[in-house]
Chain A
Amino acid sequence: MSEQLNVPTMAEMMAEGKQPEILFWVGSAGSYDDRAKKITKAFVKILNKANVNFAVLGTEESNTGDVAKRAGNEFLFQMQAVMNIEVLNAYDVKRIVTCDPHSFNCLKNEYPGLGGNYDVIHHTQYIEELISSGRLTVDGNTFKGKRITFHDPCYLGRANSIYDAPRDVLKKTNATLVEMKRHKGTALCCGAGGAQMFKEPEKGDKDINVLRTEDALETQPEIIATGCPYCNTMMTDGVKFKEKEADIKVMDIAELIADA
């Protein structure tokens, strides 16, 4: 990305006596993972384009503790949560948007019990909001007519019943949306959830991401769209395993909209 991104931090905002309309929670993957960083930047490009007055926590952000919780380490999760909540509350944060469904679920559902009450939304919901309020316009030329299939992230779909926002946003690209046999409530996991991302799988006869990629390949897509950095990694690996990376791209909805 050649253009300069405008990414103010909460600390800078506060020094200027300003309060952003929304906090962008970048998350650990979005901050450090090479593939996920591209999604982060694509989303910032959208925020800049729509003139959204946002901020990030920057170096004051720490892991939500979500993955520790799913691994069974409730101590570590609550330590992380309490620390983050202290920072968020000090900045009087009201609204949070994130590209990571795991952070989204954790901040939205599990932080309130520990004193962190925010209006938390997923970036696909926020993009939909920006489009429907007229703040963001999508030309819809780049992906016109392309076959796109959307892989529902578990922590967005089943975990929080958000199925329509990502699909409604995808329709704005004028692409042809094709559904996998297993989608929405019956969508198959990519295999990364529940801390699996950070360990080798147990003994079996196949990797979950390969099975899910086979689901996607059945729809003969040109692009597999995701809404989660971990799903993105798993599906990208699956496409490589099937030696289809020359024909099929795995892209986050933010990247599709940023380029559309």
Chain B
Amino acid sequence: MEYLPNIIFAIILIAGIGYFANNVKKLIRNIKLGHKVDASDHKSERWKNVVNIALGQSKLVKRPVSGILHAIVYVGFVIINMEVLEIIIDGLFGTHRIGLSVLPESVYGFLIGAFEILAVLVLVSVTVFWIRRNVIKIKRFLSSEMKGWPKNDGNFILYFEVVLMCLFLVMNATDTTFQNLNSGNVISQFIAPWFSGFELETLHTIESVAWWLHIVGILIFLNYLYFSKHLHILLAFPNVYYGSVAPKGKFNNLEAVTAEVKLMMDPDADPYAAPPETAEDEVPAKFGASDVMDLTQVQLLNAYTCTECGRCTSSCPANLTGKKLSPRKIMMDTRDRLEEVGKNIDLNKGKFVDDGKQLLGDYITNEELWACTTCNACVEECPVSINPLSIIMEMRRYLVMEQSAAPMELNNMMTNIENNGAPWPYNQMDRLNWKDEN
């Protein structure tokens, strides 16, 4: 029976990590529903982006208040989680503060002291975040796509942080051995007096309850990630790596179209020639995207990475002038649809069964797509290199090339280009007339 706590701990740990790993597998499977992207180029530039944009948060601090607060929570989160290593070792082997027997007392004290200070800074930042969301009501948190679950999700994670930080401090405050060391208890020494009336036995119980809740809380947090917008704490890194390294104005040239255009322009091409053997079984390429499977793996990774901060939407000219388009909603819709497709696959033994729905129309409307000015403000703003514009463009391509569903005026413009090489109905032969006009 002596090892019972260790066994229970091991079971909880394995279950927590196991369930998370299972969901990560699903996430990877869902992302792989998209088209492959070759990102083997510009390796050094990609790593530089990971260091500057993801690790260094260079884009976040462009909005200083939220940027700096975010940096505190981020640093706190990463560093305080070093403590989890000790908790896991203690839990598995029944030791108590193994760090103390490995590290010199002063070093250990310094580390825990730093964690405690960070814990308080995190508490302060999280409180300010909560006030920004719920009291000051900053505009970008109030858009129509932020009602219901997305709003609660944002708050839940803040409550989580508060509980975890408090548990960490209480755990230290009620640990009499640690308090007696008087090294590293920079914050918890002020909390300890709150418990001064308790018996030693009770203190031990409180400490061990806080300890257990802390580790269980972290495991719950870990598993909550998959269901929330908070996957960005893991996915920001690969997402920034795979983000575009080309100038933002460069839109990809559709290869399927290039093949057909070349054939059309080639004077030697035989229009009656049979298609090459290999092409026989292939489904003809679809132009553009109407559903998540038509998007690229990077675009789907983008959708899982989005943490719904709304910087894109708050800088979008269409959104700022009251149009329906919100780049954040494009990303949220893409993820929601991808999740729906994933669940469909789970239910149907690994195969997607047509559910009569798609991203275009059921989630994203034509009105949103046609409001975009392709100005790249959303792409520029995103702190984790998400590109909502690329999804909008793929869906416009589908509307125009598969459905001929462009707005009338744009069809006129395109007919003009086809007929006379200009978006207006002017004669091609008049193209140089400006030279002689006054």
A→B interface (CB under 8 Å): 1-2, 5, 7, 9, 26, 28, 30-33, 37, 40-41, 56, 58-59, 61-63, 65, 67-76, 78-80, 82-83, 105, 108-110, 113-114, 154-155, 158-161, 185-186, 188-189, 191-208, 210-212
**Which residue of A7, A59, A193, A208 is within 8 Å of B321 (Cβ)?**
A208
Contacts of B434 in A (CB 8 A): 26, 30-31, 37, 40-41
Contacts of A159 in B (CB 8 A): 247-250, 376
- Most chain A beta-carbon contacts within 10 A, residue among B323, B377, B393, B431: B431
Q: Does A74 contact B401, Cβ atoms closer than 8 Å?
A: yes
Q: Does B423 contact A198, Cβ atoms closer than 8 Å?
A: yes
Q: Does A154 contact B401, Cβ atoms closer than 8 Å?
A: no
Contacts of B323 in A (CB 8 A): 201-204
**Binary per-residue interface labels of chain B (270-308) against chain A in the complex, 1 for a CB within 8 Å, 0 otherwise:** 000000000000000001100000000000000000000
- Asked if A73 meets B401 with Cβ closer than 8 Å, knowing A40-B434, A185-B380, A211-B320, the reply is yes
CB proximity of A18 to chain B, nearest CB, Å:
18
**Cα distance A67–B413 when bound, in Å?**
9
- B372 CB–A CB distance under 8 Å: yes
- B246 CB–A CB distance under 8 Å: yes
CB proximity of A100 to chain B, nearest CB, Å:
12
* CB-CB nearest in chain A for B381: A186
Q: Does A73 contact B400, Cβ atoms closer than 8 Å?
A: yes
- Asked if A195 meets B413 with Cβ closer than 8 Å, knowing A28-B422, A72-B393, the reply is yes
* CB-CB nearest in chain B for A33: B424
Q: Does A202 contact B370, Cβ atoms closer than 8 Å?
A: yes
**Cα distance A195–B218 when bound, in Å?**
49
CB proximity of A107 to chain B, nearest CB, Å:
11
Tell me the chain B residues, 380-438 only, with Cβ under 8 Å from chain A: 380-381, 393, 396-401, 406-407, 409-410, 412-414, 417-418, 421-424, 426, 428-435, 437-438
- Asked if A37 meets B321 with Cβ closer than 8 Å, knowing A82-B265, A154-B375, A202-B371, the reply is no
**Cα distance A113–B321 when bound, in Å?**
36
CB proximity of A192 to chain B, nearest CB, Å:
7
- Asked if A204 meets B318 with Cβ closer than 8 Å, knowing A31-B422, A109-B249, A185-B380, the reply is yes
* CB-CB nearest in chain B for A113: B253
* CB-CB nearest in chain B for A44: B435
Tell me the chain B residues, 242-256 only, with Cβ under 8 Å from chain A: 246-251, 253-254
CB proximity of B67 to chain A, nearest CB, Å:
14
CB proximity of B103 to chain A, nearest CB, Å:
46
CB proximity of B54 to chain A, nearest CB, Å:
19
Pick the 10 closest A-B CB pairs, nearest first: A159-B249, A72-B396, A205-B322, A194-B374, A62-B421, A204-B322, A189-B375, A109-B250, A72-B400, A105-B249
**Which residue of B376, B398, B432 is within 8 Å of A56 (Cβ)?**
B432
**Cα distance A70–B401 when bound, in Å?**
13
* CB-CB nearest in chain A for B396: A72
Contacts of B432 in A (CB 8 A): 7, 9, 31, 56, 58-59
Q: Does A78 contact B258, Cβ atoms closer than 8 Å?
A: yes
* CB-CB nearest in chain B for A159: B249
Contacts of A65 in B (CB 8 A): 417
Q: Does A208 contact B431, Cβ atoms closer than 8 Å?
A: no
Contacts of A108 in B (CB 8 A): 247
A–B complex contacts, Cβ < 8 Å, 7 sampled: A1-B438, A9-B432, A28-B423, A71-B410, A160-B247, A185-B380, A211-B317
- B354 CB–A CB distance under 8 Å: no
Beyond A58-B432, A63-B422, A204-B371, 4 additional pairs, beta carbon < 8 A: A2-B438, A72-B399, A160-B247, A189-B317
Q: Does A74 contact B247, Cβ atoms closer than 8 Å?
A: no
- Most chain B beta-carbon contacts within 10 A, residue among A32, A56, A62: A32
Q: Does B321 contact A206, Cβ atoms closer than 8 Å?
A: yes
- Most chain A beta-carbon contacts within 10 A, residue among B254, B413, B423: B423
Q: Does A80 contact B396, Cβ atoms closer than 8 Å?
A: no
**Which residue of A56, A80, A109 is within 8 Å of B246 (Cβ)?**
A109
* CB-CB nearest in chain A for B325: A202
- B163 CB–A CB distance under 8 Å: no
**Cα distance A32–B434 when bound, in Å?**
8
**Binary per-residue interface labels of chain B (257-274) against chain A in the complex, 1 for a CB within 8 Å, 0 otherwise:** 110111011000000000
CB proximity of A40 to chain B, nearest CB, Å:
6
Contacts of B417 in A (CB 8 A): 63, 65, 67-68, 76, 80
Contacts of A186 in B (CB 8 A): 315, 377, 380-381
Contacts of B409 in A (CB 8 A): 198-200
- B324 CB–A CB distance under 8 Å: yes
Q: Does B250 contact A194, Cβ atoms closer than 8 Å?
A: no
**Binary per-residue interface labels of chain B (330-369) against chain A in the complex, 1 for a CB within 8 Å, 0 otherwise:** 0000000000000000000000000000000000000100
Contacts of A78 in B (CB 8 A): 253-254, 257-258, 261
- Most chain B beta-carbon contacts within 10 A, residue among A5, A161, A195, A197: A195
- B373 CB–A CB distance under 8 Å: yes
- Asked if A202 meets B421 with Cβ closer than 8 Å, knowing A72-B288, A74-B397, the reply is no
* CB-CB nearest in chain B for A185: B380
Contacts of A5 in B (CB 8 A): 435
Tell me the chain B residues, 210-267 only, with Cβ under 8 Å from chain A: 246-251, 253-254, 257-258, 260-262, 264-265
Q: Does B261 contact A75, Cβ atoms closer than 8 Å?
A: yes
CB proximity of A160 to chain B, nearest CB, Å:
5
* CB-CB nearest in chain A for B260: A75
Q: Does A31 contact B431, Cβ atoms closer than 8 Å?
A: yes
Q: Does A68 contact B414, Cβ atoms closer than 8 Å?
A: yes
**Cα distance A28–B407 when bound, in Å?**
21
CB proximity of B81 to chain A, nearest CB, Å:
33
- Asked if A199 meets B253 with Cβ closer than 8 Å, knowing A72-B399, A74-B287, the reply is no
**Cα distance A252–B417 when bound, in Å?**
25
CB proximity of B436 to chain A, nearest CB, Å:
9
Q: Does B264 contact A79, Cβ atoms closer than 8 Å?
A: yes
Contacts of B325 in A (CB 8 A): 202
**Which residue of A31, A199, A201, A206 is within 8 Å of B410 (Cβ)?**
A199
Q: Does A202 contact B324, Cβ atoms closer than 8 Å?
A: yes
Contacts of A26 in B (CB 8 A): 431, 434
Q: Does A109 contact B410, Cβ atoms closer than 8 Å?
A: no
Contacts of A59 in B (CB 8 A): 428-429, 431-432
**Cα distance A64–B396 when bound, in Å?**
19
Q: Does B428 contact A208, Cβ atoms closer than 8 Å?
A: no
